[in-house]
Each structure stands twice: as structure tokens, then as C-alpha cells.
Amino acid sequence: MPNNYFAFKQFVVKQDRCAFKVGTDGVLLGASAGVDGREAILDIGTGTGLIALMLAQRSEASITAIEPDSISCQQARENIAGSKWKERIRVIETDLQKLSKQDMKFDLIVTNPPFFSNSLVNHDPRKSAARHNISLSTEDLLEGVQRLLSRDGYFQLIMPYAEGNIFIAEASSYSFYCNSIVKVRPLPTSEVRRLILSFSRHQLSPRESFLTIEHGKRHDFTEDYKALTRDYYLKF
């Protein structure tokens, strides 16, 4: 059974009321998203507030975190309020489709999106909405980013390998070009399981790299993974 909270070096994430808990995908995106020079960040589907907190720790940006699930939104607000960056993070209970471009433009948009399109839907409606693309389709996501991303902004997300490759093609129809791909493997002998993708409106030659999380046994983490997450995890 998951813990009711997850303690990082500079903040604590309470998660007893959230539909989904702190996981490796969120940590990977929060630790790798490019925040240099970014002034306004949007975190779509913030859940516990994890990614917003991670980005606040290593930037000076103003961060807007949106979450449509009322209970998760309330807990995210509590986690943000208990942090040292509460003045820079705004949590809004809304979905992406209702967020107006009149609010502001963002020079970085991040999300750990719902991505299971064809798998069995969870009987818990909150978990189903958080993990399947029922409430946020690929089209909704790309239309929202197209509406809210600044001209020179970046859009970054993490997805499973197969879905990520499809998403790259779909994004191109919205004039978003993939300029960075990090291929994530659980073990050196594993197939690539996740893609961390970065998009912009400018077509560049995409950079590709690999990240392996563990060596041959559980919790024997690679130096690359430790270097990426060292500012956050207590154990590194």
C-alpha cells in the first residue's frame, strides 16, 4: 500500500487523497524539463503538485498548475502551501479545455498525461480519468498547448514508447516539432519503456539520448539516474 506522503530533500508531497501517487514518470519529467530562462510555466494535470514543486525548486518561474479532480486539487494546494515556493505556484481547479488563453501565455508547458487509450478502464472513476485519455484526448492536449504556448516556448511530456512515437506524428499536424527525445529503460537489458519528449514550434534536428534507471537489481540505481534526481531524492 502506498505511503500517505513522499518526502523529498526540500519538500513533502502528501498523497493520501490523490487519485494517483508519486511515481517515477513524474519525477523523471520534473527533474529533466528545461527550465532555464523560463518565466511562466504551466503544469497540466498536476495531481499531487509534484512536478510543479520540482520545477519551482530549480527555477524562478511563476508556475500555474491545473487539476480537474477536486480532491486532488485540494491536496495539491495543501502541498504547495506547505512549501517554500507557495508565492510562485498557483493551483487552479480546471481542465485544460477551459483554461483561457487570455489568462496568459506560457514559455514552458509540461504534463505527465493520461495515456492508456485502449486498455481496461479502472472501476474507480477518479483513477480512470487520471490514467486514461477519457477527459483529455490527444487532440484536446495539442489544441490546448497550441493555444497557450508562447511563440518560442517549449512543451515537454513523458509517455510510453509506443504512444510517444504516435504522439510525435500527431504533434506535427499542429506544427509542433520534436527536438529532444530521451529514451528511458528500466534496466540495461530492457527495451525502451518511456520517452521524455520536448517540442517547439521551430523545426530542429532532434537530439536523442538514453537513460537507464537501474543496474541489474532493484534499487541499484545508475549514476545517470542519480545525477538527474540527486537534488530531490533523500537517498542520493
Alpha-carbon span 123 to 120, nearest angstrom: 9
C-alpha cell recorded at residue 209? 539520448
Question: Residues 112, 158: contact at Cβ < 8 Å?
Answer: yes
| Distance set, CA 185 to CA 136, 175, 191, 215, 220 (Å) | 26, 29, 6, 10, 14
Q: How many other C-beta atoms are found inside a 10 Å radius of the C-beta of residue 225?
A: 21
pTM for the whole structure: 0.91
Q: What are the two backbone dihedrals, phi and then psi, of residue 154, each rounded to the nearest 5 degrees? A: -125, 145
- 3 state SS of 164: helix
CATH of domain 21-229: 3.40.50.150
Q: How many CB atoms lie within 10 A of CB 235?
A: 9
Residue-wise pLDDT tens digits, 123-150: 455 454 544 345 789 999 999 999 999 9
Contact of 64 with 90, CB cutoff 8 Å:
yes
* Domain boundaries defined on the chain: 21-229
Q: Note the pLDDT of residue 2.
A: 59
Length of the chain as a residue count: 236
- Residue 20: the pLDDT is 81
pLDDT, mean of residues 15-27: 92
Q: What confidence category does residue 119 fall into, taking pLDDT thresholds of 50, 70 and 90?
A: very low
Sign of CA dihedral 113, 26, 14, 127: positive
- The C-alpha atoms of residue 143 and residue 66 are separated, in whole angstroms, by 16
Residue 204: band (very low, low, confident or very high) from pLDDT cuts 50, 70, 90: confident
Strand pairing category for 194-200 and 106-111: unpaired
In angstroms, how far is CA 74 from the centroid of its own chain?
19
Distance separating alpha carbons of residues 188 and 67, to the nearest angstrom = 35
